[in-house]
């Protein structure tokens, strides 16, 4: 009986958290695939330059792998940071990614259920008022911004180390971190990720005006008007 109850509990947990669990699984699978492919590519470059190949474990802790991972993470967090902030005030007529056309802005305390308008089930910091409620009101942006800055800083340090390894292999002088961050390698890596993220977000906002995916909250109902704004399927 206890085993059956536990199994039902596990099944309920998986069902209620299936979105995050599936994306965690495919993230780990993709990261593992990237590490293996990157290792082969790195050693291929080493062989082409008549340098000694490295083990898989060495590659996992190398600057080359770290910069490849960090440069993607920082662009993803930047995308969500800007999208979360942008959708507070910016609108897109007909898109479920936008708020209703008359709802731009931070909203009233009553609409946001903060302070005296909080319910019994509201998070504690939403109800207490003052600085804690103000911080909680911006907590998603603050955390996303911190993750973006942290991963961008990691990219700069790992990219600097990888760049200087190449410099030394080519018998050239290494550069300082400040010189690397001001240079073309860092900004080429950064901007090639940013432009793709901005294109994807903009495309989603516009395409969702006219196209549908039945059952998805990222889409309007299939029969909704093209001009219906802020309506989820």
In a domain, 115, yes or no: no
Q: Which residue ranges in the chain fall short of pLDDT 50?
A: none
Residue 119 has phi, psi (to 5 degrees) of -100, 180
pLDDT for the residue 103: 85
* pLDDT tens digits, 171-217: 899 999 999 999 999 999 999 999 999 999 999 889 999 998 888 88
Three-class SS state of 17:
coil
Domain assignment present for 77: no
Q: How far apart are CA 79 and CA 147, in angstroms?
A: 12
Q: Report yes or no on 113 lying in a domain.
A: no
In this prediction, residue 2 carries a pLDDT of: 63
- Tell whether 205 is covered by a domain: no
> How far, in Å, CA of 132 to CA of 151, rounded?
26
> Would residue 92 count as lying in a domain?
no
Number of CB atoms found within 10 A of residue 14's CB: 11
Q: Which domain holds residue 4?
A: 1-61
pTM for the full predicted model: 0.86
**From CA 8, how far away is CA 172, in angstroms rounded?**
63
In a domain, 2, yes or no: yes
* Core vs surface per residue 187-203: b (16+ CB within 10 A) or e: eebbeebbeebeeebee
Position 1 scores a pLDDT of 62
Domain-located, residue 111 = no
Residue 157 within any structural domain of the chain: no
Q: State the DSSP code for 117.
A: G
Domain count, the chain: 1
């Amino acid at each position: 009986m206890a085993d059956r109850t536990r199994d039902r509990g596990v099944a309920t947990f998986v069902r209620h958290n299936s979105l995050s669990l599936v994306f965690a699984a495919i993230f780990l699978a993709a990261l593992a695939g990237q590490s293996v492919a990157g290792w082969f590519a790195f050693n291929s470059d080493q062989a082409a330059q008549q340098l000694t190949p490295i083990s898989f474990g060495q590659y996992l802790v190398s600057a080359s792998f770290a910069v490849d991972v960090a440069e993607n993470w920082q662009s993803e967090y930047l995308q969500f940071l800007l999208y979360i902030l942008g959708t507070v005030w910016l609108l897109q007529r007909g898109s479920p990614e936008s708020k209703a056309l008359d709802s731009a802005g931070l909203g009233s305390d009553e609409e946001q259920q903060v302070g005296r308008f909080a319910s019994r089930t509201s998070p504690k910091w939403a109800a207490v008022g003052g600085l804690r409620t103000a911080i909680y009101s911006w907590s998603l942006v603050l955390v996303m911004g911190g993750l973006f800055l942290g991963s961008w800083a990691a990219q700069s340090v790992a990219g600097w180390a990888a760049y200087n390894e190449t410099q030394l292999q080519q018998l050239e002088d290494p550069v300082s971190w400040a010189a690397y961050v001001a240079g073309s390698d860092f900004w080429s890596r950064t901007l090639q990720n940013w432009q793709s993220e901005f294109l994807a977000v903009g495309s989603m906002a516009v395409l969702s005006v006219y196209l549908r995916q039945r059952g998805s909250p990222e889409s309007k109902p299939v029969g909704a008007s093209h001009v219906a704004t802020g309506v989820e399927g």
